[in-house]
Structure 1
């Protein structure tokens, strides 16, 4: 088995190094029978992200889509050509847990599945109001069987991914769209809080309706 880990990046020089280090640590926990291929997809980067990825010795491809859906799809399809049969997505502003990949393998092994939707934790609440943290905690279901969808923590079978047509060319909610198509086609989806990622609490959104925008809107409502 070979796992492809695909990370889209658009001007992520401040976070990419820690992200890649966490993924490398997760890869090191895999048994020798499982190979891993790590790929960064640079989409319209104008900062030092590329230089940092080169310094880390990680494979990469470049595009100028300015569209996370197209970037993710390009990366996933490239990883599949490199022999990956299971694909794991995270984001360049996130840190995966040490057992991120091991937990995915455990799910696949013990109860075969076509997709795993994992959970995210927020890296810091220090710059946000206590009410924003409370509102988020009341909203978020950190349990098995949750129904949250995060592009920063989404993994799936390569065969099923190709069968449903892959990520759509959307600038946001490409993850939600993909999950819906897996559901429509009757693929098995595991909603797991064992597969975990720690994501940035920044409020400067890369995607207009992504996680940062969600936090920013919560914070804005609490400051009014």
Structure 2
């Protein structure tokens, strides 16, 4: 079974599109009928996120951590206990491409770090979009780490010790652990994920805060 973990803290505005894209990715013929189980980890949600997940037929796990590292780890633990051989991670404000899971598995690596695209720059000055365009490497061999586009085998995840309980950069910390454990990492642009460029951060120090800092110069 392939497991997909989506941490969410009050993400009702983004979840419908995000979950719809994940369901499409889970139904690709190239997966050869292998089951895909998606879990939305509801971290201290007080909005309609839970109801949206239920309406899509997707499992939820409620935690009160306000900590994305703990949320991702909780979802991974649940899916590993259910027999997942591969764990894929994305974010509630992102939408994956139809071939996202297929592309991760095709890398035949212990872990896959994918790149991202941004769907709407309207909340930022033009300078932020230009800086991203000039400095971001969206090609094979990049060295970006994004929790919105990350995959890892169950065995490699266990060997590395999983996500640390960090409120930010938990994805980078996991990849550092994977590298230290000798995991084979594919730095690939093949698994496609589009994410938001919102200015209201869910995790302090994350992508939203990075973009705001760029705007401030």
- Residue 127 (structure 1) shift: 2.8
Query: Is residue 141 of structure 2 the alignment partner of residue 145 of structure 1?
Result: yes
- Residue 8 (structure 1) shift: 0.4
- Residue 220 (structure 1) shift: 2.2
Which of 123, 126, 144 is 1:127 aligned to? 123
TM-score, normalisation: structure 2: 0.97
Correspondence for 1:90: 90
Mind listing any 5+ residue stretches in structure 1 that lack a counterpart? none
Correspondence for 1:23: 22
Which whole-Å CA distance do the structure 2 matches of 1:165 and 1:106 have between them? 24
Correspondence for 2:13: 14
SS of residue paired to 2:168: coil
Which whole-Å CA distance do the structure 2 matches of 1:115 and 1:166 have between them? 12
TM-score, normalisation: structure 1: 0.94
Which of 158, 178, 189 is 2:185 aligned to? 189
> Which has the larger displacement, 165-174 or 122-131?
122-131
Mind listing any 5+ residue stretches in structure 2 that lack a counterpart? none
SS of residue paired to 1:194: coil
- Residue 5 (structure 1) shift: 0.4
- Residue 98 (structure 1) shift: 1.0
SS of residue paired to 1:195: coil
- 2:123·2:199 contact (CA, 8 Å) conserved in 1? no
Query: Is residue 213 of structure 2 the alignment partner of residue 217 of structure 1?
Result: yes
Query: Is residue 196 of structure 2 the alignment partner of residue 200 of structure 1?
Result: yes
Which whole-Å CA distance do the structure 1 matches of 2:61 and 2:126 have between them? 40
Following superposition of structure 1 onto structure 2, how do residues 38-187 of structure 1 map, counting pairs within 5 Å?
A: 38-108=38-108, 113-187=109-183
SS of residue paired to 1:71: helix
